[in-house]
Amino acid sequence: MASDSPSESLKLVESKFSADEVRAYKANFEAYKPGIQKHEVAEYYTKWAESGGYDTQITPNNYSGPEKTAEYMATHYTDEEKATIRILDVAAGTGKLGVQLHKQGFRNMDALDPAEGMLAKAKEKRVYTNFIQDFIGLERPVPVENGAYDLLTACGGFGEGHIPPSALHEMIRVVRPGGLISISLREEYLEYVEEYKGVLTPLMKKLEKEGKWRFISKEPIENFSFCLPGVMFLYEVL
């Protein structure tokens, strides 16, 4: 079950992980701490990535979200489709999801992330075609044409100070009708992130009622991040 607060999550992590993993959790928490502003998030991630700490501390052992998301998305496409569909990886970070999608056979991917340092590391993975340094969901649109993508993924990009609920509108805009949007996040964020509590999932349902997208599935992800459960929403753009 999801915890009710960051302090409870820390206690759970401390009870299950080594000292090194607890330090990794605390480093990760610094990017999600209550009250953090978006420019601070980007600056923190850039420094963390440039130091080498992000890829060293955030590993498949404590963050299975990218692997589980890629595996699930692979079940929705044929091998031929994987090689050709155009994907926008939102909050791509250093390319952890991109690497997993590539392992599943996806080949046409672009990365969007506001942190310059994270994108620099993502380029080293050699799985993306284009790189867009930008936030999503702010007043200005991202520099992407309407309906440009067949699939949009956002794994680990939702959290305190990260992607706002308003980004759902922009995500729908850049995906073609019939395309898919996959959103994976730590489940507890739906309960205690003030920006999301009573807002994010109701907005998802509102957009469905308005005929903007169609609900496909809501999949639980065990041990999504630091033994804490996650959830993956999948929608089809209409």
Per CATH, the homologous superfamily of domain 6-237 is Vaccinia Virus protein VP39 (3.40.50.150)
Whether 216 and 234 have beta carbons less than 8 Å apart is answered as: yes
- Using alpha carbons only, what angle is made at residue 91 by residues 85 and 93, rounded to the nearest 5 degrees? 105
Q: Which position has the token pair 């692979």? A: 74
238 residues of the chain, pLDDT tens digit each: 455 566 777 777 788 778 888 888 888 989 998 899 999 999 999 999 999 999 999 999 999 999 999 999 999 999 999 999 999 999 999 999 999 999 999 999 999 999 999 999 999 999 999 999 999 999 899 999 999 999 999 999 999 999 999 999 999 999 999 999 999 999 999 998 999 999 999 999 999 999 999 999 999 999 899 889 999 999 999 9
Q: What is the DSSP string of 31-73?
A: TT-TT--HHHHHHHHHHHHHTTHHHHHS-TTTB-HHHHHHHHH
DSSP label at residue 141: P
- Cα(174)–Cα(14) distance, integer angstroms: 40
Closest alpha carbon to 130 in 87, 163, 91: 87
Other CB atoms closer than 10 Å to residue 106's CB: what's the count? 25
DSSP label at residue 124: H
The SS3 call for residue 194 is coil
